[in-house]
Amino acid sequence: MFLKKNKKNLRSLFTIFAVLGLATTMLWWGADTSTINAQTTRGTLFDFTGNGRTDWTTLTFPAATGQPITWKVAGNPANPAPNAAFIRIFNYGNLGDNIIPGDFIGDNKNELVAYRQGTPGIFYVAPFLNGPGGVMLDRAVQWGTSAAADNPNVSGDYDGDGKLDYTVVRIVNNNFVWYIMSSSTNMMRAIPFGTRTGVRGFIRFYGADFTGDGRDELVFLTFDDAKTITYHIGDAVTGAGVITRNWGNFDTDISLSPADYTGDGKADLVAVRQTTSPATWYINNPATNAATATAFGIGDPGFSNNDRPVRGDYDGDGKHDIAVWRPSNQTFYVLRSTDGGITGQKWGDAGDVPLGATGTF
Ligand SMILES: [Ca+2]
Ligand SMILES: [Ca+2]
Ligand SMILES: [Ca+2]
Ligand SMILES: [Ca+2]
C-alpha cells in the first residue's frame, strides 16, 4: 500500500507542506492570482498516461471501511493485440477515503489521489504507475479537517496555472466557505460562496471553467421542494456570483460535474434523464443558453438498472463525450464527439464502479 515507500512523502510532509496544517485555522494569506497566465494547458480528465484521452478505469470497493480500494486502468486506446493492452491493477486508498484523481502536479497526467478524513485531512498524491511495481507516494498534503466535515470533492484549477488546487469546502453558519490552496503560490484563501439556507438539498462539484479564461469557477447545485435543480457558479477569487441557471430535476436526472461538451472552452451543464430508455442527455451551454437532447445509454427511473453516465474525453479532441459504463456487461460505450460514432470497450468486473460516474469522483 501507499504508506510504504514514501520517502518523498516524509520530505514533503515536513519541509514543504507542514506549514499547510495552518489551513485548519483558516488564515487568509491573500493570494494574488491575477497575474497568472490563463493559457496554460491542463491534463485531460482521468488521463493517466498523458496521451490526451481519458483512460478506461473502474474501481472495486471492499466490503469494510479501512480495506483497500482496487483500481483497474486500461490505457485508451487499448492495444488491440492480444494481451498487449496497457493495464494496471493496483490498490490505492481505503474504503472511506475520497477518491479524487487529477493533475495536481502539472505534468498533463492525472495522479492517483485519495483524501483521508482526519484532523487534519490529508490528500495522498502518487504518480500513476508507469511500470510494474507498487505505487510510490509523492506527497501528503494536509488540508481541511473532518472535525468540520470538510468536503474535498471540489478541487479545481482556480488560479489557472494548469495544476489542480487542493480545495475543501466547509459549511459555516449554513454558508459554504471554499478553502483553496493555490498551486502556483502555495497561498491559501477562504472564499465564501453559496448557502444551504432555504434549499431542500445540495451537491458541490469540482471546479469548471465557465468563462473561458483558464481559471475554474466554483460550482454547486441546489434543489427545491419541486426538485428543480439550480446551478450556482461563482468566481473563485472574489466569491461573486457568475451564473445562476436552472437545469434538470433531482428526481429524474443524474447530474454530472460540469465540463465542456460543446468545445467552446466553457463548461456545460448536464442532466441525464432516466424516465425513458434510452436515457436522454440534456446539455446546456450556459454561455448561450442553447441546449441539446441526445438519447444514449440505458435509462431506469429507479436508478438501479441504468447505465452509469461517466465523464471524460475518450477520443481526445478536447470535448467531453457522452459516455456510459454498462454494469451488466462491464463495457464502456462512448458517443464520440469527433464523428458521432460509438466506441465500445469492455473493461472492469461485475460490481465495479467506473471512475467519473458520480459528482464525487
Ligand atoms: Ca492551479
Ligand atoms: Ca473561468
Ligand atoms: Ca461548452
Ligand atoms: Ca471527445
187's CB contacts (< 8 A; 6+ apart) are 29, 30, 31, 32, 181
Mean pLDDT within 120-140: 91
pTM for this entry: 0.87
pLDDT per position as a tens digit, 301-344: 999 999 999 999 999 999 999 999 999 999 999 999 999 999 99
Query: How far is Cα 278 from Cα 260, in angstroms, rounded to an integer?
Result: 23
Query: Residue 266: nearest ligand to its CA?
Result: 3
Using the mean position of ligand 3's atoms as its centre, give its distance from the Cα of residue 45 in Å.
15
Mean pLDDT within 276-280: 98
Using the mean position of ligand 4's atoms as its centre, give its distance from the Cα of residue 334 in Å.
9
* Three-state SS at 136: coil
Using the mean position of ligand 4's atoms as its centre, give its distance from the Cα of residue 61 in Å.
28
Using the mean position of ligand 3's atoms as its centre, give its distance from the Cα of residue 295 in Å.
19
pLDDT per position as a tens digit, 62-118: 999 999 999 999 999 876 665 566 889 999 999 999 999 999 999 999 999 999 999
27's CB contacts (< 8 A; 6+ apart) are 188
Using the mean position of ligand 1's atoms as its centre, give its distance from the Cα of residue 214 in Å.
10
Query: Residue 341: nearest ligand to its CA?
Result: 4
Largest CA distance in the chain: 57
Provide the sign of the torsion angle of the four alpha carbons 226, 321, 349, 87, taken in this order.
negative
Using the mean position of ligand 3's atoms as its centre, give its distance from the Cα of residue 12 in Å.
37
Query: Residue 44: nearest ligand to its CA?
Result: 4
pLDDT of 35 > 80? The answer is no
Residues with CB under 5 A from ligand 3 (ion): 260, 262, 264, 266, 268
Query: How far is Cα 46 from Cα 61, in angstroms, rounded to an integer?
Result: 18
Query: Residue 159: nearest ligand to its CA?
Result: 1
pLDDT at 29: 30
